[in-house]
Chain A
Amino acid sequence: DAEITQSPRHKITETGRQVTLACHQTWNHNNMFWYRQDLGHGLRLIHYSYGVQDTNKGEVSDGYSVSRSNTEDLPLTLESAASSQTSVYFCASSPGLAGVSQETQYFGPGTRLLVL
C-alpha cells in the first residue's frame, strides 16, 4: 500500500549539531509539507514543496531548510539545532492535481526531536 514514512521516529541531539529528518511518500504526490507541532500552537508550517526542485518557506522557516530532488522525498534539515526546535515534526503530502486548497493532506507518523 502507498504510504508516507518518516525517519527517525525519535531523535535526541545537542545544540549546534546539524540534523536531517527524512520524509518519504509512495503516492507520487506532487505536494509535500513539513509542520512542527507544539502544545498551544497546533501545527505550524515550516516549508513546503509543490514539485521537484520547488521549495517554499512557511510560517516558521527560520533555522530549517528543505530540498526536493525527486517526487518521493522531502528531507528537512536543521542547520544548527537549537533547544527551541525541540518539537514533534510531521511531514504531509497531497496529490497536487486539483487546486491546492481543496486537497486533503496525508500525514506521516511524526518525528519527536529533543535538542539538549
Chain B
Amino acid sequence: AQSVSQHNHHVILSEAASLELGCNYSYGGTVNLFWYVQYPGQHLQLLLKYFSGDPLVKGIKGFEAEFIKSKFSFNLRKPSVQWSDTAEYFCAVMGGFKTIFGAGTRLFVKA
C-alpha cells in the first residue's frame, strides 16, 4: 500500500539555522513527489515538485529537495531559515491516480 512518512511532527529552529525535513514513501511504481506548505491562516500551496530528471529540485523561497530513489526519500532542505518560514510542511506522493499526503511537519522559527 502507498504511504508517506514524515519523520518529525514539530521542528523548532532559530533564524539562520539550516533545515532538513525528512520524507519517506512506499510505493511500488513510478511516483511524482511534492512538497506543499501551509503558512498560518493561508491555503496550502506548492513549494516544489519532482517528476523526473535531476533529482535535486529547487522550489520557491530558497527551498530545495533531493529525490533519492534507493532510499525512497524526498527530503526538503533550506540552508538558512527565516522567521517567515514558520509554517506546516506536507510531503505528498502521487502514484497512478492517487495522492497520499504525509502527516505534516510544523516548523517554528524563532526570531
Interface positions of A (Cβ within 8 A of B): 33, 35, 40-45, 59, 90, 92, 100-102, 104-105, 107-110
Task: Please list the 9 inter-chain residue pairs (A to B) with the smallest Cβ-Cβ separation, ordered nearest first.
Answer: A43-B101, A101-B94, A107-B44, A42-B103, A42-B101, A107-B43, A104-B46, A42-B104, A101-B32
Kindly state the separation between the CA atoms of A17 and B98 in the bound complex, as whole angstroms.
30
- Asked if A104 and B49 sit within 8 Å, CB to CB, the answer is yes
Chain B residues closer than 8 Å to A43, beta-carbon distance: 44, 90, 92, 101, 104
Partner of B45, one of A45, A101, A107: A107
Interface positions of B (Cβ within 8 A of A): 4, 6, 9, 31-32, 34, 36, 42-46, 49, 51, 90, 92, 94-104
Q: How many Å from the CB of B71 to the closest CB on chain A?
A: 21
- Asked if B43 and A45 sit within 8 Å, CB to CB, the answer is no
A4 closest partner in B (C-beta): B43
